[in-house]
Structure 1
């Protein structure tokens, strides 16, 4: 394990065994709402209501770090506590072979979805919670029941499911042929057919996600979202910013145009 104190964060580089240590998992479970999952890391933001838990975690982290490197941890702990307001980034020190995690999706109806894991996995569940927390009705260590009764919730669910790689886990989603038709029963004019053969839907799903609309959204909904997002991401808004920011806005603006044109033809 290595710990680097930077101006803007505490960077912890460690192996997967330490990432799954009880004291580490306990800390992360408390911060589900304030976690950002990166390709091989987790970024945990400060939560004012969890200051005491954060300090306890830093004490345990410092003690573990000192034990690994064989030094007295009290001086190092004082240094870490000075960074108490900064985010904590926990990064894997090496990329491990991806482990497949099977997740089943079941739609009770157009308003409620059950997400269930074949076996317990705190990281995948925490990822789901971090993305869907406001819509989660109830859950266990292997399942979540999600309220998707409005379009924003459905769009959020689609965005969550689009991410398949969490740390070194590769998520494999399964669902029956009635899943999509139940979930999007409001869109009677949208034909789903046999999901196994629906390559076109897989392609267009990306466009719906870009426009932040549920699959099969009406022309009016697509147009409204397109106009709103193009105002937000118009390159002229950031022409005075750094080149990488201008490039980001330009690429996003072009993607919005591409998605809207593609879905206008489909719909």
Structure 2
């Protein structure tokens, strides 16, 4: 394990064994709504309401680091505590063989989706919670029930499911052939004439969804959301990642550009 104190963050490089310790899991579980999952790392942002949790974590981290490197940890702990406002980045020190985790999707109807794992996996579930927390109705250590009754919730779910790699886990989503028809059952009663009539409106609704904005959002809101998402999905961000990830980000980036240009003209 190595810990580097930078101006803008605390960088922790460690093995997967440390990531699975109880004190590490407890810290990350408390911050599920303030985490950003990267392909090989987790970025945890500061939460003022969890200040004590953060300090307890840093104490345990310093103690563990001292045991590994055989030194007195109190001085180093004081240095880390001075970085109390900075994000904490935790990344793997080496790549391991990807472990496939199956995640099952089931739509009760157009408003409710069940996400379940065959076996408990705190990291995959933490990722899903971090993306869908505001829509979670209930959950266990192997499942989440998600409210997708509005268009924005469905868009958020789609975005969450697009990510297939968490640390060294490779997520494999499975669902039955009725999943899509149940989830988007609103479109089942449309006739061809209806679809032709509403085609332009539906396309614009899709553009708003891509930009994660409510329908009819102002130009300022569209521009702000476009810039934020363009930074996240810019292909240059993951130029060294697997080819299929680069392709996915390029496609998403192109969709963002298309949606913004279309709505900018329409508005």
For normalisation by structure 2, the TM-score amounts to 0.77
Task: Give the Cα separation in 1 of the matches to 2:207 and 2:165.
Answer: 31
For 2:40, the equivalent position in structure 1 comes to 40
Could you tell me which of 206, 211, 215 is aligned with 1:222?
Answer: 206
For 2:61, the equivalent position in structure 1 comes to 61
- Runs of 4+ in structure 1 deviating by more than 2 angstroms, as ranges, are 188-191, 222-234, 251-261
Task: Give the Cα separation in 2 of the matches to 1:252 and 1:41.
Answer: 22
Q: CA deviation at 1:26?
A: 0.7
SS in 2 for 1:218: helix
1:1-267 correspondence runs (5 A): 1-188=1-188, 218-222=202-206, 232-233=222-223, 254-258=254-258
Cα–Cα, structure 1 residues 223 and 27, in superposed 2: closer, same or farther, change >3 Å? Answer: closer
SS in 1 for 2:185: coil
Q: CA deviation at 1:157?
A: 0.2
* Aligned residue pair count: 225
Give yes or no for contact 1:233–1:253 (8 Å, CA) kept in 2.
Answer: no
Q: CA deviation at 1:188?
A: 2.2
SS in 2 for 1:115: strand
Q: CA deviation at 1:187?
A: 1.4
Deviation sequence 1:115-164 (CA, Å, 0-9, x none):
00010000000000000000000000000000000000000000000000
Cα–Cα, structure 1 residues 190 and 233, in superposed 2: closer, same or farther, change >3 Å? Answer: farther
Task: Give the Cα separation in 1 of the matches to 2:185 and 2:260.
Answer: 22
Cα–Cα, structure 1 residues 117 and 223, in superposed 2: closer, same or farther, change >3 Å? Answer: closer
Q: CA deviation at 1:221?
A: 1.2
The root-mean-square deviation of aligned C-alpha atoms, in Å, is 2.9
Gaps of 5+ in 1: 192-216, 238-244, 262-267
Q: CA deviation at 1:189?
A: 6.5
SS in 2 for 1:95: coil
Q: CA deviation at 1:218?
A: 1.6
Task: Give the Cα separation in 2 of the matches to 1:39 and 1:224.
Answer: 27
